[in-house]
Structure 1
């Protein structure tokens, strides 16, 4: 069965590149451009993995992650922070709210899919 990945990203270029790389490896990609859309699509689509940008319009990635993790029907879905936030403590903050991993942007297209596959 084809694995489904929700990418929450408001930057068109980042979304395009991540989608392209994942689809080339056979994954089904679902896109959301803000935190509210991410919550809605997680509830309706039930993806196998969520790649969550942190700096988002409407509701940021931290808050969207907290809300998803608080809902019993979807709290088990792994979330990986995919973010340009790379200051001391940002990784720890993402992990503390429930993310299972943290990937810094810009990500390396050569290793991106193999990094993601660790969480599936």
Structure 2
């Protein structure tokens, strides 16, 4: 499994939400969030989950448990992925690049929000004969 991560050039993507995974097992597990019978219910808010591990992670929102801590600033997180994203604040890494203007972002959500700013430009251009511009 570890070697699978290093051999993979592109991450595996969920066909429903585009979330990326390096390991096929993680993708399979994630896919259940979209398709599986959700039989694990949160006793606090009644939300349903496809797997018990997702319920355990969710429960941290109610207990305020934050087991993942940044070594640089000591900020704590409920999920390891949130810590990984946060570390980019300190490293300056910006792995998400806009395909329209080449601007780069540390968070995928910021890129997605930014890309919406180009939608108006695309609509304007698509309504004109580009050869005349």
TM-score by length of 1: 0.19
- Give TM-score scaled by structure 2 length: 0.18
More helix by share: 2
Q: Which has the higher strand share?
A: 1
The structure whose RCO (Cα within 8 Å, separation 6+) is larger is 1
